[in-house]
Amino acid sequence: MTKKKIRDFFKGLKIRLILLFLVIGIVPMTALRVGMLRSYEKKAVSNREIDVLSQARILTNQIIFNNYLENADLELINTQLEQLSNIYDGRIIVINDSFHIIQDTYDLDEGKTIVSEEVMRSFRGEEISKYDSENCYIEMTLPLLEQTSKEVIGVLLVSVSTDSIVLNQGYLENSAWIIQLFSIMVILLAAMGLARALVKPFQKMAAEIVEIQNGYEDALEINSYTETEIISERFNQLFERMKVIDESREEFVSNVSHELKTPLTSMKVLADSLNGQEDVPVELYKEFMGDIGNEIDRETKIINDLLSLVKMDRAAADLNISSVNINDLLEAILKRLRPIAQRQRIELVLESFRPVSAEVDEVKLTQAITNLIENGIKYNKPEGWVHVSLNADHQYFYVKVEDSGIGIPEDSLEHIYERFYRVDKSHSREIGGTGLGLAIARNAILMHRGAIKVFSTEGEGTIFNVRIPLNYILTS
Ligand code: ADP
C-alpha cells in the first residue's frame, strides 16, 4: 500500500467509526474488570481479617484465662494455636511482658526477643492489623490484658497468608480476560457491520453521482439521513443550475452564429446580384458596395460588442478601479452623443444634483452609461428628449436615464438584458442595434456591485435607474 492509500484508509469514515465503537466498547469494560478485581481483593482481605481477628480474640481470652504466659506448655492452648495457624496457613507468636517469644507455631524464634513497632504499640494497648499486599500476608498484633488490672502482660502476634486470595484473584483475572477478549471480537464484528451500514448511504451517493455524470440518472435522491437528504437537494439544485447555464451557453453560441451570419448573407446576396448582371451601371455598383460596407460595419460592431461582453465575463479582478469624478464622466459622454442626438432632433439634458466622485472602472462605466443613453436616443420619437440625472447619498451614487421614447412592452421587460434580445428585431437592426448593449451595461454595473432597474410605459418612455457604491468593495 502506498502512503496515500494508508492515509486515505485512516481518513475514511468507516475506520473512524470502527475505532470509535471499539473505544466505547472496550474502555468501560476494562475499567469494570480492573475495578471488580480490585474490589474483590479488598473485600476478600477484609473478610479474612475479620475472621482471623475474631478467632485471635477468643484465643487471647483463653491465653489469659489459662495463665498460658506462665505456663507455655499448656496442651489445650498449644493445640488451639496449632489449629488456628493450620486453618489460615499462618504463624502465631506469643510474647510475654519481657518481649520474649514464649511460643512460635513455626518453632523458629522461641526464646528470642521481639521489639517491632507493632508489638510495642500493642504493649501500649492497641490492636493492630496490617495487610502487606506485596508479600501477601496479613499481620495482626493483639494485647494480652490481665483480667482484673487490665494491664498489658503480653502480645499475641498472628500473621496469615493471603496466597489463596491472590490465587483466586488470578483465576478471576484469567476468566475476565477471556470474557473481555471474546467481547472485543464481538464488538469488533458488530462495529464493522454497523460502520459499513452507516457509511453505505455515502457510498451510494458517490455511485449515484457517477451515474448522473454518465447520464443514466438525472437527480440525486439519498434519503437515509437528514444530512444526505440536504446534500442531495443542494446537489440537485446545483445540477439544475449547471444545466441552465449549459443550455444558455448553447443558445448563446447559436445566437452568435446566427447574428454573425446575417450580415454575411446580405453581403453574399449583394455580391451575387452584382455578379449575376451584365453591364451593371456604376451607380448600382456604388450603391451595392455602400450596402456591403454597411454590413461589414455591422459585423464589426457585433464582434466588438461580443468582445466587450466576453471581457466582462471574466473575473471582476479585471476591473481597473480608480477614483473618478462622475459629473465629468457624464459630461464627456453627453458631449460625445450630442451630435447623434441632434441628428435625430432629440434633446439631451444632464442634471447633476451634487458633485460625485467614486471608485469605478472608468472605461466600463462609460460604456454602460453610453449604452443606456444611446438606447434612449435610438428608441425615441422625433422631437423627443433624454434626461440624465446624477445624485448620491453617503453610500451610493445614482444615475437616472429617462427618455420620451417608444417604451418597452411589459412582457419584454424581463428579457431586455439577455444577449441578442431585441423587442422589435427589424426596427433595432435598422437603427444598428445588436441586442448586446443592455447585456454589456448590466454586466458592467454588476461588476461594480451595483444594480440596474427599468421602468417603462409603451408609447410614453423608459427610465433606467442605476445605483453604484461610491467605494468599490473587494470581496474574495
Ligand atoms: P440593441 O443593440 O438592440 O439596442 P440592447 O441590449 O441595448 O440592444 O437593448 C435590447 C432591446 O431593448 C432593444 O432592442 C430595444 O428593443 C429595447 N430597449 C432598450 N432600451 C430601450 C429604450 N430606452 N426604449 C425602448 N426600448 C429599449
Residue 315 clears pLDDT 60, i.e. is over it: no
Q: 207-246 pLDDT, tens per residue? A: 999 999 898 888 999 999 999 999 999 999 999 999 888 8
Angle at 290 between CA 289 and CA 291, to 5 degrees: 90
pLDDT at residue 255, as a whole number = 81
Which ligand 1 atom is the nearest neighbour of the CA of 464? 23
Whether 329 contacts 350, CB under 8 Å: no
- How many angstroms separate the alpha carbon of residue 438 from the centre of ligand 1? 7
> What is the chain's alpha carbon radius of gyration, rounded to the nearest angstrom?
53
Whether 453 contacts 391, CB under 8 Å: no
Mean pLDDT over residues 306-322, rounded? 76
Which ligand 1 atom is the nearest neighbour of the CA of 305? 2
Residue 271 clears pLDDT 60, i.e. is over it: yes
pLDDT at residue 474, as a whole number = 67
| Nearest CA, atom 2, ligand 1 | 433
pLDDT at residue 277, as a whole number = 86
Mean pLDDT over residues 391-406, rounded? 96
Q: 408-422 pLDDT, tens per residue? A: 999 999 999 988 888
| Nearest CA, atom 12, ligand 1 | 416
Predicted TM-score (pTM) of this structure: 0.56
Residues 182, 76: Cα–Cα separation, whole Å: 55
pLDDT at residue 424, as a whole number = 82
pLDDT at residue 217, as a whole number = 81
Residue 288 clears pLDDT 50, i.e. is over it: yes
Residue 188: phi, psi to the nearest 5?
Answer: -60, -45
Question: Three-state DSSP class for 236?
Answer: helix
pLDDT at residue 2, as a whole number = 82
Q: Within 13 Å and on the Cβ side, how many CA atoms surround 83?
A: 9
Answer yes or no: is the C-beta of 375 below 6 A from any ligand 1 atom.
Answer: yes
Residues 433, 375: Cα–Cα separation, whole Å: 9
Residue 429 clears pLDDT 80, i.e. is over it: no
Residues 304, 373: Cα–Cα separation, whole Å: 19
Q: Give the 3-state DSSP-derived string for 339-370, with helices as H, strands as E and coil as C.
A: HHHHHCCCEEEEEECCCCEEEEEHHHHHHHHH
Mean pLDDT over residues 139-166, rounded? 92
Q: What DSSP state is assigned to residue 113?
A: B
Whether 93 contacts 109, CB under 8 Å: yes
Residue 171 makes CB contacts below 8 A (sequence gap 6+) with none
Residues 152, 96: Cα–Cα separation, whole Å: 9
- How many angstroms separate the alpha carbon of residue 351 from the centre of ligand 1? 23
Q: What percentage of the chain exceeds 90 in pLDDT? A: 70
- How many angstroms separate the alpha carbon of residue 161 from the centre of ligand 1? 108
Residue 316 clears pLDDT 60, i.e. is over it: no
The DSSP bridge pattern shows strands 137-145 and 357-361 to be unpaired
Mean of the per-residue pLDDT values of the chain: 91
Residues 404, 458: Cα–Cα separation, whole Å: 10
pLDDT at residue 376, as a whole number = 96
Alpha helices, H only, 127-225: 163-214
Which of 298, 374, 416 has most ligand 1 atoms within 8 Å of its beta carbon, as the pocket-test mutant? 416
Strands (E), 79-151: 90-96, 101-104, 128-132, 137-145
Residue 314 clears pLDDT 70, i.e. is over it: no
pLDDT at residue 476, as a whole number = 47
